[in-house]
Structure 1
Amino acid sequence: MFKRIDHVELIPRDFDHAIGFYTEILSFTVKQRMMINAPPLEEIAYLALGDTVLELMRVKEPVIGEQDPWQTGYRLMAIEVEDMDQAVAYLAGKGVPVTWGPVTFGRSKRAEIQDPDGNAIELRQW
């Protein structure tokens, strides 16, 4: 019946800046981008990283809410990395600071960064 999580949707403050962050820094590729005439929705972009799809939505006058990664509800999206130290160094060179960690959990390592809108993104090395 249920197969898998198909995609995650985000509404960024700056649609084009968010596409740049996910494609230029985190290596997502633009799978599809299209204008939509379904107010308040204006445009969508599907970004892929491996089998994972992220849908960015441009909406007219998005409401900007407070970001607290430790609140109840949606927490974060996690991206698997091959080498935590290499990933952290690469991101630092791109001006993306680690907001938590890296920490070791058993045989895995975990760290967190944020996208331009403050959405938490976990980095995980298994």
Structure 2
Amino acid sequence: MLHGLHHVALICGDYARSRAFYVDLLGLTVIAETHRAERDSWKLDLAVPGGGQLELFSFPNPPERVSRPEAKGLRHLAFTVADMDAAVARLEAAGVAVEPVRVDALTAKRFTFFADPDGLPLELYEG
């Protein structure tokens, strides 16, 4: 029935800050950017390497979402990287706090966590 994951949609608190984070820092490619004046809202479609999309939305005064302690619902988004050390260095050079790199006990792959500008937990997974 399902053929794959098409997109993940995020609502951001500061559109310009989130756009810069996902495009300039993480390097996602802009597919389309639309301003919806009647809703005072932006929609940014971003291509994720390897397939799928990330959609960023902005709305006036979005409510905060509980993410810690571990709440039901979305836990985190994970992105694959080829070089963990280079990816961590790039994030830290941009002032992003990154947790110490760990090794997954089940897969023996290295991973770490950091947060986007709105505090959404993001993971880097070396693949």
Q: Distance in 2 between matches of 1:70 and 1:86?
A: 29
Q: Does 1:117 align with 2:118?
A: yes
SS of aligned partner of 2:42:
strand
TM-superposition CA deviations, 1:37-73 (whole Å, max 9, x none): 664x722110112123110111122112333162221
- Structure 2 equivalent of residue 86 of structure 1: 86
TM-superposition CA deviations, 1:59-98 (whole Å, max 9, x none): 1221123331622210111110111122111211111111
Q: Distance in 1 between matches of 2:76 and 2:33?
A: 23
- Structure 1 equivalent of residue 62 of structure 2: 62
**What amino acid is the match of 2:48?**
L
For structure 1, list consecutive stretches of 5 or more residues without a partner in the other structure. Answer: none
Query: Higher strand proportion, which one?
Result: 1
Q: Distance in 2 between matches of 1:84 and 1:69?
A: 26
Residue 35 of structure 1 and its aligned partner are, at CA, apart by: 2.0
- Structure 1 equivalent of residue 97 of structure 2: 97
> Where has structure 1 moved over 3 Å in runs of 4 or more?
none
SS of aligned partner of 1:32:
strand
CA contact (8 A) 2:12 2:118 kept: yes
Q: Distance in 2 between matches of 1:14 and 1:48?
A: 20
**What amino acid is the match of 1:64?**
E
- Structure 2 equivalent of residue 34 of structure 1: 34
TM-score by length of 1: 0.88
